[in-house]
Amino acid sequence: MIRHAHDPQKEVGMPRRYPPEFRRRVLDLIASGRKVADVARDLGVSDQTIYNWRSQDLIDRGERPGLRSEELAELHAARRRIAELEAELAATKRARELLKEAVPVGCIYSDIALSRANARGESITPTRVRRRSRGLPGGDPTATA
C-alpha cells in the first residue's frame, strides 16, 4: 500500500465507493452550513470527493448542465459492453487467422462442395471437388461456390 504524501499515517489505494445514503448525508451537512473541509476531516473523505458529489448533485437536480447520474451509469455500461464486444471480435479475428494458417483453403471449399452435393443427392468424388475448388476443368459444372 502507498502512503499519503502529506500524512504518512494514511494509506492511499483504490478509491472507496460510498453508499448513496452516506453521500446524501454529507451533502445535507454541507447544505446546513458546515464547511467542506470540516466535514471531510471529520468523516475521512477528501475535500475533492465532496466537491465532486456536490457538483453531481447540482447536475442531477437540473441546476447545472451535464450528464445526470443515471445517464452516466448508462454510458459506463455501454462503454463496458463495447469493450467486451471489441475483445470478442479481436478473439474471433485471431481464431480466424489461426484457422487460415492451420487449414488449407481448398479443404474448406471441398467440405462445402461435398455437403452441397450430398444435399442434392449427388455422388461426388474428392477429385472432382478438388478440381472444382481450384477452378480446373473436370470439376462439377453444376456446383456453385
- Alpha carbon distance 55, 27 (integer Å): 10
Regarding predicted confidence, which is higher, 116 or 3?
116
The helix or strand, by DSSP H or E, that contains position 2, with its residue range, turns out to be: strand 2-3
Angstrom distances, CA of residue 22 to CA of 9, 29, 53, 85, 99: 24, 11, 11, 35, 54
| Structure confidence by residue, pLDDT tens digits, 13-71 | 666 789 999 999 999 999 999 999 999 999 999 999 999 999 999 999 999 999 999 99
Q: Exposed/middle/buried for 72, CB within 10 Å: 0-12, 13-18, 19+?
A: middle
Average pLDDT over residues 108-132: 65
Between residues 49 and 1, which one has the greater pLDDT?
Answer: 49
Burial of 32: CB neighbours in 10 Å, binned 0-12, 13-18, 19+: exposed
User: What's the pLDDT score for residue 10?
Assistant: 58
CA-to-CA dists, residue 28 to 17, 51, 93, angstroms: 19, 13, 52
Q: What count of residues does the chain have?
A: 145
Under the banding of pLDDT at 50, 70 and 90, the label for residue 115 is confident
Per-residue burial over 12-27, b if 16 or more Cβ lie within 10 Å, else e, is eeeeeeeeeeebeebb
Residue 106 has pLDDT above 80, yes or no: no
